[in-house]
Amino acid sequence: MNLKSGLLALAVSTALLSPLALADKAPIVGLITKTNTNPFFVKMREGAQQRADETGVELRTFSGRFDGDNESQVQAIENLIAAGAKGILIAPSDPVAVVPAIDRARAAGLLVIALDTPLSPADAADATFATDNYKAGVLIGQWAAQTLGDQAADARIAMLNLNSSMITVDVARNQGFMEGFGIDVNDPNRIGDEKDPRIAGQDVTSGAEEGGRRAMENLLQRDPSINVVYTINEPAAAGAYEALRAVGREKEVLIVSVDGGCPGVENVRDSVIGATSMQFPLQMASMGVDAVLEFAKTGQKPQASEGLDFVNTGVELITDQPQEGLDSKNSAEGLELCWG
| Tens-digit pLDDT profile for residues 161-190 | 999 888 888 999 999 999 999 999 999 999
Residue 29 lies in a domain: yes
Distance, in Å, from the CA atom of 176 to the CA atom of 132, rounded to the nearest integer, reads 10
Together in a domain, 64 and 104: yes
Together in a domain, 38 and 185: no
Task: List alpha helices for the chain, DSSP H.
Answer: 3-16, 19-22, 39-55, 70-83, 99-107, 133-148, 168-181, 209-222, 234-246, 262-269, 281-298, 331-337
Percentage of the residues of the chain whose pLDDT score is greater than 90: 85
- The mean-pLDDT minimum among 23-27, 126-130, 216-220, 314-318 falls in 23-27
Distance, in Å, from the CA atom of 260 to the CA atom of 5, rounded to the nearest integer, reads 64
Together in a domain, 105 and 231: no
Print the domain residue range for 36.
24-131+281-302
Together in a domain, 123 and 189: no
Task: With H, G, I as helix, E, B as strand and everything else as coil, classify residue 331.
Answer: helix
Residue 112 lies in a domain: yes
Residue 12 lies in a domain: no
Distance, in Å, from the CA atom of 165 to the CA atom of 207, rounded to the nearest integer, reads 13
DSSP annotation of 184 reads: P
Distance, in Å, from the CA atom of 231 to the CA atom of 196, rounded to the nearest integer, reads 18
| CATH for 294 | 3.40.50.2300
- pLDDT exceeds cutoff 80 at 130: yes
Distance, in Å, from the CA atom of 30 to the CA atom of 15, rounded to the nearest integer, reads 28
Cα 39 → chain centroid:
11
Of 233, 229, 240, 239, the closest CA to residue 260 belongs to: 233
Together in a domain, 196 and 48: no
Together in a domain, 285 and 326: no
Residue 159 lies in a domain: yes
Q: Which amino acid is at 32?
A: I
pTM for this predicted structure: 0.80
Together in a domain, 126 and 139: no
Together in a domain, 147 and 99: no
Together in a domain, 152 and 243: yes
| Distance between first and last Cα of the chain | 58
Together in a domain, 323 and 180: yes
Distance, in Å, from the CA atom of 76 to the CA atom of 97, rounded to the nearest integer, reads 14
Distance, in Å, from the CA atom of 296 to the CA atom of 301, rounded to the nearest integer, reads 10
Of 207, 205, 238, 338, the closest CA to residue 280 belongs to: 338
Residue 13 lies in a domain: no
Residue 53 lies in a domain: yes
Q: Which band of pLDDT confidence, cut at 50, 70 and 90, is reported for residue 24?
A: low
Residue 86 lies in a domain: yes
Distance, in Å, from the CA atom of 39 to the CA atom of 34, rounded to the nearest integer, reads 11
Length of the chain: 340
Exposed/middle/buried for residue 56 (C-beta within 10 Å: 0-12, 13-18, 19+): exposed
Residue 143 lies in a domain: yes
Together in a domain, 192 and 324: yes
Together in a domain, 188 and 199: yes
Q: How many domains does the chain have?
A: 2
pLDDT digits (tens, 9 = 90+) for 242-285: 999 999 999 999 999 999 999 999 999 999 999 999 999 999 99
